[in-house]
Amino acid sequence: MRVTVIGGGISGLVTAHRLAPHHQVTVYEAADRLGGCLRATTLDGAFPAGLDIGAEASLNRRRETRELAAELGLASVFPSPAHSSQVYARGSLHPIPKRTVMGVPADPADVAELLGPAASERVAAEELSPPIPGDDVSLGEFLAERLGADLVDTLVDPLLGGVYAGRCRDLSLAATVPALLPAARNGTSVLDLVRDLIAARETKAEPPGPVFMSLVGGINRLIPALAERIQAHGAQIRLGTAVESLTAVADGWSVRTAEAEEAADAVVVATPAHVARRLLAEAAPTAASHLGGIPYASTALVLALVEVGARPLEGSGLLIPPTEASFIKAATHVSNKWPWVDERLPAGTAAVRMSIGRFGDDPRTWQDLSEAEVVERAFADWQSITGRTDRLVAAELRHWDAALPQYLPGHAEAVAAIDAALAGVPGLELAGSAYLGVGIPACIERAEAVAARLETTTTDENTKKEQE
């Protein structure tokens, strides 16, 4: 089977990796590099081992990334247990409460220091609401009605913002924190549900292990390892080659680029939804229409090498709620979080990531600034919040334009409609972060499911031909 994979991010490469041993696979990537939101930098040689300047970790409690890394011969590394994150609220830093489900506490007393007495009392006095009329609702609006706006704006929003670069009042409860959905659908207590969820988590027989994982050199090391395996099986990877159109033909698909038009038996579109929408407009108009309803957030990341001298950084990082007057939305103390980074840094220095941008931002707040202005403002903000006066040794800014899909209420239904529409289009599949999860494990899971469906289709077709 001739398979065209459009998009050379983690989703496209995993799909190609699974199909290349048995099929003729070609990967088209419009950019001059593979990896999508997985990208490395050496900070102009200041850190030769390489650091992530895109996604920096993957969930370890899901199997997909850790199993893929092991398959590729890459050893997992884990965050230091000696450091934890903080949240900036009311002018000071506070520990992030540990016994929560995405910020919703099992015990309202656990958020009293962070929120203050009145807000924590409002959480304790949960106001039940009737069952939601449909299958989904805004996560932030639901929790604000039940537990108060302070909990949502101070803790839930920055935690979700770290995943989606979105605002929790815009995001889907069903798609982002489905564990809380029964309380919304049944009109029952969120706090009781969270207590049950945490009790079940704490009584598991085996220790859960680290929440996150990465690789020496960064999680981006998955990309060259995948590319090497794919090409070893004879697959082609074409960089700097954008697919301009897809056309269904009698025996499969016609894939047109600026240079040529080539035939394929199956096509996997592993691009952002707005790119997939354009490509599917003719071949799958219903799916394309739903794809057009998935908005994206643009963000920026400043990665800095900082001279800290004899005063080490505290904690693994910090989150900043959108209610605070802050240019940055989060910071990660990379060398505190990841021991492998600290081991490779010159003495007296530290690595810090500063994240900028949320869905719905006014572009004038940061996108219209020069590179030097963004770096200067981000670093000054971090210094002000942490109370430090360290010297900036090196820094790199990376813009991520329209890179993070926003799972609005009704997202799961929209994805189901997309998949139903594609079920009637033979040999066409979609993979990527726009569908069933923005994290690396979710992208791998969908990519592997896509590859398995194509394998099954091929087997069925071969069996049919043999019977004929």
Q: Say which CATH number the domain at 167 has.
A: 1.10.3110.10
Q: Does a structural domain hold residue 70?
A: no
Question: Of the candidates 40, 67, 66, 45, which has an alpha carbon nearest to the alpha carbon of residue 55?
Answer: 40
Q: What pLDDT shows up at residue 201?
A: 85
Same domain, yes or no, for 413 and 281? yes
Answer with the one of 150, 178, 202 that is the final residue of a domain: 202
Token pair recorded at residue 165 = 């670069």
Whether residue 303 sits in one domain with residue 261 = no
Residue 206: pLDDT band with limits 50, 70, 90: low
Which of 386, 405, 424 is where one domain is finished? 405
Range of the domain at 345: 296-405
Per-residue model confidence (pLDDT) at position 460: 57
What contacts 406, CB < 8 A, 6 or more positions away? 164, 166, 170, 171, 294, 295, 296, 297, 359
- Quick check: is 376 in a domain? yes
Tell me the C-alpha distance between 36 and 54, whole Å.
9
In a domain, 56, yes or no: no
In the predicted structure, residue 160 carries a pLDDT above the cut 70: yes
CATH number of domain containing 16: 3.50.50.60
pLDDT at residue 203, rounded to an integer: 84
pLDDT tens figures, 301-324? 999 999 999 999 999 999 999 889
Both 302 and 381 in a single domain? Answer: yes
Q: Which of 405, 420, 448 is the last residue of a domain?
A: 405
Does residue 463 surpass a pLDDT of 60?
Answer: no
Q: Is 345 part of a structural domain of the chain?
A: yes
Q: Is residue 92 part of a domain?
A: no
Same domain, 251 and 290: yes
Judgement on whether residues 282 and 185 belong to the same structural domain of the protein: no
d(CA 260, CA 255) in angstroms, rounded, equals: 8
pLDDT at 440 over 60: yes
How many alpha carbons fall within 13 Å on the CB side of residue 268? Answer: 33
User: What is the rounded average pLDDT of the residues 278-299?
Assistant: 96
Give the per-residue pLDDT at 365.
82
What is the reported pLDDT for 458? 65
Cβ 396 vs Cβ 379: under 8 Å? no
Please determine, for residue 86, whether its predicted confidence score (pLDDT) is greater than 70: yes
Same domain, 418 and 439: yes
- Same domain? For 316 and 376 the reply is yes
Does one domain contain both 325 and 350? yes
My answer on whether 332 and 400 are in the same domain is: yes
Q: Are residue 107 and residue 169 in the same domain, yes or no? A: yes
In the numeric block, which tokens belong to residue 24?
Answer: 């003729």
| 19-47 pLDDT tens trace | 999 999 999 999 999 999 999 999 999 99
pLDDT reported for residue 207: 63
Judge whether 78 lies within some domain.
no
The answer to whether position 302 is within a domain reads yes
Cite the beta strand spans of 386-434 per DSSP E: 391-405, 428-430
Q: Are residues 370 and 447 in the same domain?
A: no
CATH number of the domain residue 350 falls in: 3.90.660.20
User: Sign (positive/negative) of CA torsion 79, 83, 84, 86?
Assistant: negative
Rounded Cα distance between 129 and 135, Å, is: 15
- Note the pLDDT of residue 435: 97
Spatial separation of the C-alpha atoms in residues 40 and 37, rounded to whole Å: 10
- Kindly state whether residues 192 and 231 are assigned to the same domain: no
Task: Check residue 294 and report its DSSP letter.
Answer: -
pLDDT higher than 90, residue 152: yes
**Residue 59 in this model has a pLDDT that exceeds 80:** yes
Number of structural domains the chain divides into: 3
Is residue 89 a part of any domain in this protein?
A: no
Nearest to 198 by CA among 179, 172, 177, 181: 179
